[in-house]
């Protein structure tokens, strides 16, 4: 039996799930969390951006990606993604391991 995806592909769906858990991220971090190549991730992000599901902005030299707050069904999208993320224990664990704040300057590694 073939598994279908509500957003066109499993990669696109997993990107949206990760963004719903992270609130915002950047390409390299998402690729690491989802365990996919950066080129595959960027292709998925471009498609999602074109469809209006995600928005990206540049902060310094980093392109920060979020769920699009202006998407016409944003509230419903977030509710659906939260529901879809429930069985994704591995993804939730990968997101939980991420560092939430920058390392204090001068702190030893």
Domains of the chain: 10-90 (1.10.10.10)
Number of residues that make up the chain: 109
Percentage of the chain modeled with pLDDT above 90: 78
Q: State mean pLDDT over 55-63.
A: 94
- What is the distance between the alpha carbons of residues 87 and 92, in angstroms, rounded to a whole number? 9
- What is the distance between the alpha carbons of residues 60 and 17, in angstroms, rounded to a whole number? 25
Quick one: how far is CA 108 from the chain centroid? Answer: 30
Confidence of residue 29 (pLDDT cuts 50, 70, 90): very high
Position 73 pLDDT exceeds 70: yes
pLDDT at 97: 87
Confidence of residue 103 (pLDDT cuts 50, 70, 90): low
Strand 54-59 relative to strand 24-26, pairing = unpaired
Confidence of residue 40 (pLDDT cuts 50, 70, 90): very high
Mean pLDDT, all residues of the chain? 89
Position 3 pLDDT exceeds 60: no
């Amino acid at each position: 039996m073939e598994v279908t995806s509500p957003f066109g592909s499993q990669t696109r769906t997993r990107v949206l799930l990760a963004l719903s858990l992270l609130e915002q991220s950047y390409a390299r971090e998402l690729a690491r969390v989802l365990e996919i190549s950066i080129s595959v991730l960027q292709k998925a992000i471009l498609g999602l951006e074109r469809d209006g599901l995600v928005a990206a902005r540049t902060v310094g030299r980093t392109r920060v990606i979020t769920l699009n707050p202006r998407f016409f069904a944003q509230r419903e999208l977030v509710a659906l993604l939260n529901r879809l993320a429930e069985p994704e224990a591995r993804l939730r664990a990968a997101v939980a391991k991420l560092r939430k704040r920058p390392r204090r300057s001068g702190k030893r590694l």
